[in-house]
Amino acid sequence: MAISDFERPLDSVAGQSVEGALGAASQDVVWNHDHVLDLDDFSYEEIESVITLAGKMREVLDRRIARAPILRGFTMINLFFEPSTRTRASFELAGKVLGADVISVSANTSSVVKGESLIDTVKTLSAMTADAIVMRHGMSGAPYLASKYTRASVINAGDGSHAHPTQALLDIYTLKQRLGDLKDKKIVMVGDISHSRVARSGMWGFSAMGANVVLCGPPTLLPSGFLVNERPEHARSALPDVDIETNIDVAIKDADVVMALRLQKERQQGGLLPSLHEYSRLYQVTSERLSKAKSNHILMHPGPKNEGIEIGGDVASGSNSTIEEQVTNGVAVRMALLYLIAQKNQREN
Ligand code: MLT
């Protein structure tokens, strides 16, 4: 697209406005969420609604029919207590493309360093009439607490090892683009399952779409409570039903999708692995191992990746990899979520 296209009135760019591009997709949505905390309370229809809208948002991004201010007057505050590159930039971009006012606050440059509590920080941002607070925190459950102290919609951008719902949604969108339907597809997540919020939200999302989820990793990184029949009665529905396999070659056999997960060294207390070398020897996703998956398998990684540890550099940039697509799709999915939240708020106010 020529630079001058950006100077034309929005409606004439590619002949369409953003609202025009959303068209019927924005009429038929099933959406009833004030907050996006995890996918455990998302139905198949709600996930489908996000994915359909994300498809339209992706067209907006690709054709640069962007910068249309359908979120004018909507204020989104990014509140990040943990490092992030892609999630934070992705939310910022999603908000800005749709014309929202976007402010980013890092905990290490905020009043948190002066001892302000999470609740006070959230109340302060809320008093600035924020419409959405996008929050990343090292403690599992922190966004749930925040949601009780603000009128803004809280979007969980990753809490401890608990949940990362927007990552799961962008992964589902990426897979649906490639596979059409996830029903009965074998999705194998390999690596540090214990500490992975991506794995937990993925379990909910992929299962809701009808996929068969297999978790694979060394026994020290696979919590036993993940198997339904090992859970106490009261916790049976605490996570969806999944299969567990410690042998990566068995797990990957005939897989439609393989997702390598990063070793979350920052969340480990130590003593869970003999050595990184041993881990990569036994669990690295390599081309040899992937030869046991379906020939048209999809290789994913949420990033940031450690090539040579959980994933081989050649496969990470190979033709089956969707790693870069996941990043672009992340912006589209977050645009869709912001739009849905803004629409719901508008209907109710
Ligand atoms: C996350 O924030 O959980 C990332 O997307 C995945 C990772 O950190 O490994």
C-alpha of residue 265 to centroid of ligand 1, in Å: 11
Distance in Å, CA 341 to ligand 1 centroid:
24
Q: Give dist(CA 319, CA 72) in Å, integer.
A: 39
**Quick one: tokens of 208?**
């809701």
Residues 136 and 96 both lie in one domain: yes
In this structure, the answer to whether residues 304 and 230 fall within a common structural domain is yes
CA 177 – ligand 1 centroid, Å:
22
Residue 181 CA to ligand 1 center (angstroms) comes to: 25
Residues 179 and 306 in one domain: yes
Residues 202 and 78 in one domain: no
The whole model's pTM is what? 0.92
Domain shared by 149 and 183, yes or no: no
> Which protein residue's CA is at the shortest distance from atom 9 of ligand 1?
262
Beta bridge partners, 155, equal: 36, 134
Q: Tell how strand 298-300 and strand 257-260 pair up.
A: parallel
Same domain? 27 vs 122: yes
Residues 292 and 314 placed together within one structural domain of the fold: yes
Q: Which of 87, 169, 198, 323 to mutate to test the pocket of ligand 1 (most atoms within 8 A of CB)?
A: 198
Q: Which of 156, 164, 194, 326 to mutate to test the pocket of ligand 1 (most atoms within 8 A of CB)?
A: 164
Atom 2 of ligand 1 has which residue's CA nearest to it? Answer: 158
Q: Are residues 158 and 239 in the same domain?
A: no
Confidence category of residue 18, pLDDT binned at 50, 70, 90: low
Assess whether 102 and 113 both reside in one domain.
yes
Residue 6 neighbours by CB under 8 Å, 6+ apart: 13, 64, 67
Specify whether 160 is located in the same domain as 224: no
CATH number for the domain including 273? 3.40.50.1370
* Nearest to 133, CA basis, from 170, 91, 85: 91
| Residue 303 Cα to ligand 1 middle (Å) | 6
Segment among 25-39, 179-193, 307-321 with least mean pLDDT: 25-39
The number of folded domains in the chain is 2
Reading the block at residue 284, the tokens are 């690295």
Measure the CA–CA gap between 145 and 123, rounded to whole angstroms.
12
Segments forming the whole domain that contains residue 74 = 3-164+328-348
Residues 41 and 184 both lie in one domain = no
Per-chain mean pLDDT for the chain: 89
Same domain, 204 and 104: no
Least confident of 26-40, 88-102, 265-279, 332-346: 265-279
Structure tokens, 184: 């009965």
Q: What is the pLDDT of residues 266-277, one digit of tens each?
A: 766 677 777 888
* Per-residue pLDDT tens digits for 32-54: 999 999 999 999 999 999 999 99
pLDDT at 65 over 70: no
